[in-house]
Amino acid sequence: MKADELAAYLTARKIPGAEFSATTLAIAEDSNRYPFHGQTIPAIHFTVTDRAKLDTPEMGVELLSALHHLYPTEFQIDKAKTILLNADTLAAIKADKDPREIAAGWAAALKAFKIQRSHELLYESEK
């Protein structure tokens, strides 16, 4: 991964409530034996600029989509199915659909869920 390339790509997407910059991470050399242990690797720093505007599930799809788009052979998108838990979303990312279009596809089901959930809430959250 080229951190500067990925940060620029995500920045160009103008994701509301977030900023991205390239950085590095030092992975500890310890008994956990994490991948890349003892190495310094490229990484992306996410800054939340407005948590009310940030849609974290959509940002997750943006990130997966960016990795798939920029590194189609290196990034193993099929391993993301365990965090996505939605075969249609994974298929849409693989088909290079726009992440905003993917998230818009959730709108009806999300609205229905919020209506159903509202009957169970003890307190209303303030907006």
Look over the chain and give the mean of its residue pLDDT values, rounded to a whole number.
Answer: 91
CA distance 50 to 45: 15
Residue 22 has pLDDT above 60, yes or no: yes
Q: What is the 3-state secondary structure (H, E, C) of 106-125?
A: CHHHHHHHHHHHHCCCCCCC
- Which pTM does this prediction carry? 0.83
In whole angstroms, what is the distance from residue 46 CA to residue 20 CA? 5
Residue with tokens 């992306």: 44
Confidence grade of residue 124 (pLDDT, cut at 50, 70, 90)? low
pLDDT at 122: 78
Q: Which amino acid is at 5?
A: E
Per mean pLDDT, which range of 7-11, 29-33, 58-62 is the poorest? 29-33
User: What pLDDT does residue 125 have?
Assistant: 63
pLDDT tens profile 23-47: 999 998 888 877 888 899 999 999 9
Residue 55 and residue 60: Cα distance in Å, rounded? 9
Closest to 17 measured CA to CA, from 57, 77, 73, 75 = 57
Say if residues 50 and 24 touch (Cβ distance below 8 Å). no
pLDDT computed for residue 127 by the predictor: 44
Model confidence pLDDT, tens digit, residues 66-87: 999 999 999 999 999 888 888 9
